[in-house]
């Protein structure tokens, strides 16, 4: 590669367009920027072809709105610490690109959509919410107007006649937008721009060839080497494809978020549908864990070794991008489990009500530890329970729920109840002895008993929290019974699944599951391919 010796003293050069006072990076700085972008922003850089991007950025062959968006996103990756002047320069790049995007009329251009996604990644990083919202609306408009979300619909392919490379580029641009759209749905509470059922776009394929193959018009030795390898290596010897797996992850994450958001809305709540969806999502999460997370574990020693050996080279990007995507798979898996578990935690009405406003002056937190000799109720509460009786009752409940506690090793204690079981059919944390020693009937009876008792307790008291924990424990056991060893069948009506709060009907559940086989088959096909 030709080095700009003057650029080594001054990392910026005068622009090629007269009247533009924004300094531009040298070729050396541009190289570091382009090599680092796929590692730092894997979803945003899904459409990038390194040889093509380097050649067109170096020779200013891209439209200015796209050229400056790349500079804005990559400028901060070249140094560990930026000076105020360098930070201001990055801001100039992003504002320049943003203004040019607003003036652009061809919003069907995939570069327009990709530039919006790139700036979304940049403004997410600097927390500029007004511009972020504007960019998201611009990107959404581009998707709807261009109908890129139906790219692989047969009539569109026949009518427009894209080449295979043009099709693959547009697919990847769409999926990079899809990642931000689902992220916005998760963290900003927005509705999806396009529903999953309306998307007709094939998943990304041939990641290694796409990233480093194709035509290489630059004499950069490392680019030429990896371009030759990508163009001539048999596809069976390519590194494992990751962008297809990333897209599947985003799809499943969106399903989990939508389910959790509408789960307890009274107007649309259907106990049968709710239980069925929960079971399917748990099974999909287990499938995801077994097929994506466990086989693609993050190797931190490998990351350290690669960084020390290949820093600022294209080889580092090849190895590091794989590890970064493995890390994303693991974190997304954790996020989905947490979202499902949180949707269970908020199921009890009035649980978070604050009763501190009803306390008399000076009572404070002593309210929770007051003895009362004239107890008028058999249900333990903070005010009507003698301390010794309260301790005795709590100890009985502890022994009842921890029926294997005598077998615990020293020091385990209550950690036992919050540990994942390797034999569990669900990744949602439940007690270790779930569905092993207790029958379905016993679990249901205890769940019903503690649910009724909980309704009579005042919220935010010690005993209400204890009973709530017991309700959660037995609720989880019942779900596990359904998944692994259901006993609520027609031949045993005494144990039918008819929890008051979820009113389960096994016949309607089976009928509904059969009607949704297409959706399950779609997910199974995605996991296989």
pLDDT one-digit tens code per residue, 102-140: 999 999 999 999 999 999 998 876 666 788 889 999 999
Confidence band for 393, pLDDT divided at 50, 70 and 90: low
- Can you tell me the distance from the alpha carbon of 526 to that of 202, in angstroms, rounded to the nearest whole number? 11
CB 69 within 8 A of CB 115: yes
pLDDT one-digit tens code per residue, 478-487: 766 666 654 4
pLDDT one-digit tens code per residue, 292-350: 999 988 888 888 888 888 887 888 888 888 889 999 999 999 999 999 888 887 764 54
Average pLDDT over residues 186-214: 90
Mean pLDDT of the chain: 74
- Can you tell me the distance from the alpha carbon of 419 to that of 400, in angstroms, rounded to the nearest whole number? 18
CB 457 within 8 A of CB 379: yes
- Can you tell me the distance from the alpha carbon of 199 to that of 320, in angstroms, rounded to the nearest whole number? 31
| CA end-to-end distance (rounded Å), the chain | 39
Cβ contacts of 15 within 8 Å, gap of 6 or more: 21, 22, 23, 24
CB 493 within 8 A of CB 441: no
- pLDDT score, position 410: 40
| Unique residue bearing structure tokens 């008399």 | 360
Percent of the chain with pLDDT over 70: 67
Confidence band for 147, pLDDT divided at 50, 70 and 90: very high
Nearest to 371 by CA among 361, 359, 384: 384
pLDDT one-digit tens code per residue, 342-392: 888 776 454 444 444 444 444 443 433 334 444 333 434 444 444 445 445
pLDDT one-digit tens code per residue, 500-521: 333 334 444 444 444 444 555 5
Tell me which of 8-12, 251-255, 302-306, 500-504 is least confident: 500-504
pLDDT one-digit tens code per residue, 49-79: 999 999 999 999 999 999 999 999 998 887 7
pTM value is 0.63
User: Which residues is 12 bridged to in the sheet?
Assistant: 25
On the question of pLDDT at 261 being above 50, the answer is yes
- pLDDT score, position 125: 66
The neighbour count for residue 267, using CB atoms within 10 Å, is 5
Average pLDDT over residues 471-494: 59
Tell me which of 33-37, 65-69, 110-114, 158-162 is least confident: 158-162
- Compute the Cα dihedral for 60, 62, 66, 71 and give only its sign: negative
Average pLDDT over residues 219-228: 90
On the question of pLDDT at 96 being above 80, the answer is yes
On the question of pLDDT at 17 being above 80, the answer is no
- pLDDT score, position 276: 86
């Amino acid at each position: 590669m030709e080095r700009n010796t003057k650029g080594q003293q001054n990392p910026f050069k005068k622009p090629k367009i007269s009247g533009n006072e924004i300094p531009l990076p040298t070729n050396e700085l541009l190289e570091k920027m382009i090599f680092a972008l796929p590692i730092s922003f894997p979803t945003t850089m899904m459409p990038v072809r390194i040889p093509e991007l380097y050649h067109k950025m170096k020779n200013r062959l891209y439209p200015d709105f796209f050229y400056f968006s790349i500079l804005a996103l990559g400028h901060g990756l070249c140094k560990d610490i930026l000076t105020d002047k360098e930070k201001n320069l990055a801001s100039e790049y992003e504002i320049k690109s943003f203004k040019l995007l607003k003036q652009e009329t061809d919003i069907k251009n995939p570069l327009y959509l990709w530039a919006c996604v790139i700036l979304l990644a940049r403004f997410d990083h600097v927390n500029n919410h007004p511009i972020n919202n504007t960019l998201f609306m611009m990107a959404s408009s581009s998707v709807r107007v261009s109908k890129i979300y139906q790219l692989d619909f047969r009539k569109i392919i026949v009518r427009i006649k894209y080449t295979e490379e043009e099709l693959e580029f547009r697919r990847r641009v769409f999926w990079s937008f899809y990642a931000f759209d689902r992220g916005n749905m998760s963290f900003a509470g927005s509705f999806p721009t396009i529903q999953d059922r309306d998307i007709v776009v094939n998943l990304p394929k041939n990641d290694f060839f796409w990233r480093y193959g194709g035509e290489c018009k630059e004499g950069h030795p490392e680019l030429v080497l990896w371009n030759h390898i990508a163009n001539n290596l048999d596809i069976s010897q390519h590194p494992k494809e990751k962008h297809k797996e990333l897209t599947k992850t985003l799809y499943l994450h969106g399903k989990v978020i939508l389910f959790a958001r509408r789960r307890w809305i009274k107007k649309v709540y259907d106990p049968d549908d709710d239980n069925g969806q929960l079971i399917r999502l748990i099974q999909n999460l287990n499938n995801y864990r077994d097929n994506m997370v466990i086989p693609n574990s993050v190797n931190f020693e490998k990351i350290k070794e690669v960084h020390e050996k290949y820093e600022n080279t294209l080889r580092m990007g090849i190895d590091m991008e794989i590890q970064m995507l493995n890390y994303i798979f693991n974190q997304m898996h954790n996020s989905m489990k947490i979202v499902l578990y949180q949707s269970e935690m908020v199921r009890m009405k009035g649980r978070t009500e604050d009763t501190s406003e009803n306390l008399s002056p000076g009572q404070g937190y002593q309210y929770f530890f007051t003895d009362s000799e004239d107890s008028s109720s058999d249900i333990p509460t903070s005010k009507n329970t003698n301390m010794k009786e309260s301790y005795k009752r709590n100890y009985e409940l502890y022994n009842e729920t921890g029926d294997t506690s005598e077998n615990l090793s020293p020091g385990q204690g209550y950690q036992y109840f919050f540990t994942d079981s390797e034999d569990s059919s669900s990744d949602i944390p439940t007690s270790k002895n779930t569905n092993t020693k207790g029958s379905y009937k016993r679990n249901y009876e205890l769940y019903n008993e503690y649910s009724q008792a909980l309704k009579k307790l005042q919220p935010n008291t010690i005993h209400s929290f204890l009973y709530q924990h017991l309700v959660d424990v037995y609720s989880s056991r019942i779900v596990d019974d359904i998944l692994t060893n259901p006993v609520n069948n027609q031949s045993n009506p005494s144990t039918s699944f008819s929890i008051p709060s979820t009113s389960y009907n096994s016949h309607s559940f089976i009928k509904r599951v059969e009607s949704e086989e297409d959706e399950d088959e779609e997910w199974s096909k995605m996991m296989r391919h």
